[in-house]
Structure 1
C-alpha cells in the first residue's frame, strides 16, 4: 500500500508539473504579446514599459546569484529600448539621422555579443562560445547586406533593410536554448525562466520586428525577475512549472554536452548554408 500511495502521489506531481508549465507558458505568451502590442499602439505605452517600470522597480530589486550579470543586461537592453524610443521620435527620413541611429544600434549589438562572449570565457563555458560566434557572424552578415532603420506603418522598428532574416532568427533560437538549458542549467528543473524567454522568442519570431520585440520583452522579464525572483526553485511551489526530467541536464554531463554540441552544430550548419 505505501508503494502504491507513493506512485499515485508521484503521478499527481507529474500531472501538476505539466499542467502548470502549460498554463504558465500560455500566460507568458499572452503577457509578451501584450507588451509588444502596447508598444506598437503608442510611444507612451512603450516609454512606460521600457523605462518608467524600470525606475519604479529599482528600489524593489532583490540581489540573487549572477545579479551583476542581470543588471548588465538590464542596463544594455534599456539603452536599446531608449534608442528605439528616440528612433520613433526622430526624423529618420533625414540621412544623417538614419545613419547616426544605425551606428548606435551597431554599437548595441557589438556590446551585447562581446558581453556574452566575455562572460562565457570568464565562466569557462567553452562549448557556448562557438554558437555565440555563429550568432555574431550572422548579425554582421545581416548588417553588411543592409543599412538604415525604418518604422513600418504598424509602428514596428526594422533594422538594416527590414526584419531580421530567417537564418539569423533560427541561429538566435539555438543560441537561446543553449543559454537556457546549458549555461543556466542550475535553474532546472524549474522551467519558469526558460518558459518566459521561449514565449518572448515566439512572439518576436511572429512579429515583423524580431529584435525590437525580443529585447523589449526580455528586458521587461529581467526586471520582473529582479523583483519577484520567479527563477527560484520554490517560487509558486516546488512542483510549479517544474519538470523533473530536466534534472538530468543539471546532474548528468552527457545530457547537457549532447545538447550543446547539437545546438552548436546546427547553428554553424545554418550559418554555412546561408553563406553558401
Structure 2
C-alpha cells in the first residue's frame, strides 16, 4: 500500500541516525550558558547598587572599622593596667610624672575616636540634632524669621550667626566623600604611634628606670600632635568636629 504525501513527508528512513552532540560541542554550549548567567547577574547586581546604594555602603564601612580593631585591642591592653597613668602611678620613679602619662592616654583615645569617625562618615556626615533643628526651621519659616525667633528666645547675634553657618556647613557635609585609600593610610600612620604607646607601657611595667620611658612619652605626645595637624584626614575630622557648637535651646539650662 502506498504512502500518502503527508505520511511520506514524516517517514523516517530506517538507516537514519540522530546527530550526536560531541563533548566539545557540549562544553561550548555550557560555557555560553555560564557566560549568559554571569552577564545577567552582573546587570542585576549593578542595578541593585544603583537603586539601593546602602547595600554597598554597609559592606564598605565594616571593613574600615575592622582595620581599627587591632589598634583598639592594643589600647585596651594598656587600659587594662589602668592606662599609662595607672602604670605610672604604681611606679615610685614615675608617679610624679603621671600627668604626662594621662596626657598620652588622652591623645591615644583621641586618635582612635577620630579614626572611627572617619570610617563612619566616609560617605557623608549625618546631621546632628542642632543642624536638624536649624535646617527644619529655616525651611519652614525662612532664615530671617527664624533668626528673629532665636533673638526673642534670648540668643545673642553672634550665637545665631554661628548656628546658621554651622547648619549650612552640616548640610553640605551630608554628601562629602572620603577616599578609602586615604583613610587606610591614616590608619596605617596611627598604627605606628599606638605600637609605640604599647611599648612604653611595657617598659614602664618591666623596668623601674624612668630614663627611657619619660623621653619616649613626651616625644610620642609631640609626634601625635604633629600627625593630627599634618595628616589630611585627621585634620579634616578635627575641623568638622570643631565647628559643632555647644547648644541648649532652653535658656533655663544655660548653653550658647
Which has the higher relative contact order, 1 or 2, with Cα contacts under 8 A spaced 6 or more apart?
Answer: 1
Same fold (TM over 0.5): no
